[in-house]
Amino acid sequence: MKIIQPDEGEIFDIELDVDILRRNRELADENRRILDEHDIVAVDVMGSVAAGKTSLIVQLTRLLKGKHRIAAFAGDTTTTIDAELIEEAGADVLEINTGKECHLDANLVRKALQSIDLDQFDVLLIENVGNIICPADFPLGSHKRLVVISLTDGPYVVMKHPFVFQDAEVAVINKVDLAQATGISPDKLETQLLEVKPSLKVVRMNSLTGEGAARLASALDL
Amino acid sequence: MKIIQPDEGEIFDIELDVDILRRNRELADENRRILDEHDIVAVDVMGSVAAGKTSLIVQLTRLLKGKHRIAAFAGDTTTTIDAELIEEAGADVLEINTGKECHLDANLVRKALQSIDLDQFDVLLIENVGNIICPADFPLGSHKRLVVISLTDGPYVVMKHPFVFQDAEVAVINKVDLAQATGISPDKLETQLLEVKPSLKVVRMNSLTGEGAARLASALDL
């Protein structure tokens, strides 16, 4: 087997990235200052298609809405499906449609922060676009980054995508009810996660039933 | 619910994209000419994390290796896991590690084409990186684009990601054995696929057992 690893500049996007990433990081720092000024704790939720980002946010909202005033930003390429589900659960939702973009960025989040009354909220849950490659490079200014993987993401999801976990504080292993149907071991995934980042807090969950939501809230200090 | 839709230029990447996409398209056309000169039929396989791209290519390779000489390009961010599985099945594999990039592009594929003896093959199977947002914008020069979705991609995968299907000729609904465990209906997904693109050829498959592989080969004219 031969392996090709492109040199710098050979991937079309790569030379442009340095400036974009620096500018994004500056804006993320600004977002963090704005959030801190208003005593809002923000969590950025990343995960692949159907990992369970929306239902996890729905469960957190149901659990915490008596304790915190919750805002949510729902990032999605084209639809409002997720935003509607989160709104039903009791959060104030702002939908961010990214069109063809594969990730939120700090600029979009800043625009969203300017669109809500920040004094009305204590917690902000941000749902990123559904994949675990692009969002990793774009911090948004949140206090914690959370990655959701699901047993249906298969046995190699952690090994193939280490970067997204290295920047996260909490990882959720979701759909633990499907261990038998998928033949995927939650134990193995947890071991792999902790190899990538030993300080990661790992929570097992079934985001459809809400099992594990209280443990997740605790891991997020919410 | 409020909705934010960024204006052009508000997403960091977007202004750069026009030139990049044009250049990619030119290189894709060149790749196509190179493939045609050597009588190679190329298929580009896209799908989210764990949709089953690798096992689908493995099944196609097992089925067709007596009839065609098969080369495969395995695109992956960091690992050679997929490439090894495809090689075991009987294809000549070239691994393309993209690092942090979320898609293959025509430039990487051209480099890969220059790295193999094109007179030794009739069929080229190209596995893209695992997500269904970024690869859609980057044609590679293949003759057919194939998108794999899985029942574990959930009920909204087609509605949320219409672009990737519009550019494809064939879609696979994979892991049909998990209909009961996931509660997802293959019929509904097929209806949604045909709404997005009525001319799409839709094949149901279980890529672990190989069920549906012959129908897929027929849909791809292989």
Q: Which pLDDT tens digit goes with each residue over B70-102?
A: 999 998 877 888 999 999 999 999 999 887 788
Enumerate the residues of chain A whose CB falls inside 8 A of the CB of residue B7: none
Complex ipTM, two decimals? 0.83
Give tens-digit pLDDT for A19-77.
Answer: 788 889 999 999 999 999 999 999 999 999 999 999 999 999 999 999 999 999 998 87
Mean residue pLDDT across chain A: 91
For B:48-87, CB contacts with A below 8 A are: 48-50, 76-81, 83-84, 87
> In angstroms, rounded to a whole number, what is the distance separating the alpha carbons of residues B12 and A101?
10
Cβ <8 Å between A81 and B159 = yes
Enumerate the residues of chain A whose CB falls inside 8 A of the CB of residue B20: 12-13
- Residue boundaries of the structural domains of chain A: 14-219
Helices H / strands E in chain B, number of each: 9, 8
Q: How far is B213 from chain A (nearest CA, A)?
A: 20
User: Strands (DSSP E) along chain A, which ranges?
Assistant: 2-4, 41-47, 70-76, 92-97, 123-127, 144-150, 170-174, 201-204
Give burial (CB, 10 Å; 0-12/13-18/19+) of B57: buried
Give tens-digit pLDDT for A75-114.
Answer: 887 788 899 999 999 999 999 988 778 899 999 999 999 9
Enumerate the residues of chain A whose CB falls inside 8 A of the CB of residue B137: 100
> In angstroms, rounded to a whole number, what is the distance separating the alpha carbons of residues A151 and A182?
7
- The dihedral built from the CA positions of residue B184, B185, B188 and B190, taken in this order, carries a sign that is positive
- Is B12 an interface residue toward A (CB < 8 Å)? yes
Closest to A152 measured CA to CA, from A181, A194, A132, A125: A181
Give tens-digit pLDDT for A184-198.
Answer: 999 999 999 999 999
For the domain covering B14-219, report its CATH number.
3.40.50.300
Q: In DSSP terms, which residues pair with A80 in a beta bridge?
A: none
